[in-house]
A and B are shown apart, each in its own frame.
Chain A
């Protein structure tokens, strides 16, 4: 089980959190103007990277707030968690 550092509440067990997918995906402002391929890209296509990944979490059984995290998808280690709207941190070297 992961230990996750909520930017508001501090470190809590993974059971309190819900993973919410890749972070920094902006919902297109005007979907009607997109091609089918662009819309599919937004809905379904993902980096699915092996290495450092930016992802959204929600502290559902805590403060209830969303935040972003930088986590390594092979070691599952978190480098940082940060509030929505903040710039993403650089991955560790």
Chain B
């Protein structure tokens, strides 16, 4: 597979785009045995496979995906990227990811369209303001950029914002200028392409249905809809389905899976310069390069695997969007959809070892894991390769729910991103 370059684009333009090949190999069947098998072909799983091959030189790696790669939350999210989380452990993890985002298109030779256009989080009441100012200070101590803007400065940064409306008064906002968005599909495809080039087998339409364990309790293999696979190391990266996959090995998880929805408008000319989030009113918005407004809503109140949420959740978000940005009041919405997000009680992810030898898990990203994709894959690959947690991943262990060392990011990530 040859790389992308300006020269190549020009050459293909001159010969009718006839020279493009598939971007990754797509074996129909898994091999009989692998050194590491990743369950789940979302961004996190594919990134894990890529770094396992690239940095840890693991020989035989497979990614098994029950549907198509990127068809889970990776392809359903509103792509907000930022790292201004409260606790040092989180800031380290998410900022590791932002640093990788900054060079990712070059690293993968694939345009993931990372666009650090700034993420502005609105404060609507005194509590929000206090909480955000605390975040700003904590982030500065952790070396992560985050600044407080008063209401006028918010409007100057985002002109469509109405700071004078009465319903959701804007007191100010926290702005992370290095934050932004990326193209979700390109992230899955870019990692798949780069991993495949390093020999990783990506097998789609291959559902894992069982985890087999040996006499010592350790993993010995997987049952799949495409036959048995022998392996001593399995990394489960299955987002909303994690509890179901882990149950195959008899492991109960501190997770609940909820529907989370998003929607896009009809495409319009560039009107919206940045990303705006409002945790208090459960609304977040940006404009894609295609011109659609990309709008995220809140989760439903009950756990569900339906991949469809209630319409009242969407209308609540749209009411808030129309209030904050009156110029969108007559805009038509094109599509809405749902994903299933796996949430933990402290709203922080779980990355690491499990009670079953050879079984690793990376989950609990809930409503906000897209931003972490490169960093998550990077530290999880190291964790699997070495059999011990990468230092950045270590605080996010499964046993923090037993020791009580929770990383409570509920204020930063309760519903939004």
Write out, one digit per residue, whether chain A residues 66-79 have a CB within 8 A of any chain B CB (1) or not (0): 00000101111000
Q: Is the interface of B mostly helix, strand, loop or mixed?
A: loop
CB-contacts of A9-68 with B (<8 A) = 14-15, 18-19, 21, 36-37, 40-41, 43-50, 53, 55
A93 interface residue (CB < 8 Å to B) = no
Tell me the total A-B contact number using a CB cutoff of 8 A.
Answer: 66
The distance in angstroms between the C-alpha atoms of A53 and B257, with both chains bound, is 13
A18-B301 in contact (CB<8A): yes
B403 neighbours in A (Cβ, 8 Å)? 36
Q: Tell me which residues across on chain A come within 8 A of B252, comparing CB atoms.
A: 41, 45-47
Please indicate the chain A residues that have their CB under 8 angstroms from the CB of B302 in the complex: 2, 19, 55, 71, 76
Are A48 and B401 in touch, CB under 8 angstroms?
no
Contact pick for A37, options B253, B255, B344, B402, CB 8 Å: B402
Q: Which residues on the B side are within 8 Å of A75 (C-beta)?
A: 306
Q: B residues within 8 A CB of A74?
A: 304-306
CB of A73 within 8 A of CB of B305, answer yes
B345 at the interface (CB under 8 A from A): yes
A87 within 8 A of B: no
Which residues of chain B are near A41, meaning CB under 8 Å?
Answer: 252
B404 interface contact, C-beta 8 A: yes
A50→B247 CA distance, assembly (Å): 11
What string of 1s and 0s marks CB contacts (under 8 Å) between B301-317 and chain A? 11111100011100000
Asked whether A50 lies within 8 Å of B345 as measured between CB atoms, the reply is no
B355 CB → nearest A CB, Å: 10
* A40 with B311: CB separation less than 8 A: no
Please give the residue numbers on chain B whose beta carbons come within 8 Å of chain A beta carbons, in ascending order.
Answer: 241, 243-244, 252-257, 301-306, 310-312, 344-345, 401-404
Contacts of A40 in B (CB 8 A): 254, 401-402
A48 touches B243 (CB 8 A): yes
Q: Which of B241, B243, B310 is A14 in contact with, Cβ under 8 Å?
A: B310
- Cα A41 to Cα B398 in complex, Å, equals 12
- Give the residues in chain A near B244, CB-CB below 8 Å: 48, 50
Complex contact A19–B243 (CB within 8 A): no
Given A1-B311, A14-B310, A55-B302, A43–B401 Cβ distance below 8 Å? yes
A65 to B303: give the CA distance in the assembly, Å: 21
Residues of B within 8 A of A71 (CB): 302
Query: What is the minimal beta-carbon distance from B356 to any residue of chain A, in angstroms?
Result: 15
Residues of A within 8 A of B257 (CB): 48, 73
A73 in contact with B303 given A40-B401, A44-B345 (CB within 8 Å) = yes
CA distance A15 to B311 in the complex (A): 11
Are B253 and A45 in contact, with the CB atoms below 8 A?
yes
- A14-B310, A48-B257 are known; give 4 further A-B pairs, CB within 8 A: A14-B312, A18-B301, A73-B305, A75-B306
Contact A43 B345 (CB under 8 A): yes
Q: Say which residue of A2, A18, A44 sits within 8 Å of B310 (CB atoms).
A: A2
Residues of A within 8 A of B254 (CB): 40, 44-46
24 A-B residue pairs with Cβ-Cβ distance under 8 Å, sorted by A, are A1-B310, A2-B310, A15-B312, A19-B301, A21-B256, A36-B404, A43-B401, A44-B344, A44-B401, A45-B252, A45-B253, A46-B243, A46-B254, A46-B256, A48-B253, A48-B257, A48-B303, A50-B241, A50-B244, A50-B305, A55-B302, A71-B302, A73-B257, A74-B304
Say whether A76 contacts B304, CB under 8 Å.
Answer: yes
B342 to A, closest residue via Cβ: A48
B255: which of A14, A19, A21, A48 is its contact (CB, 8 Å)?
A48
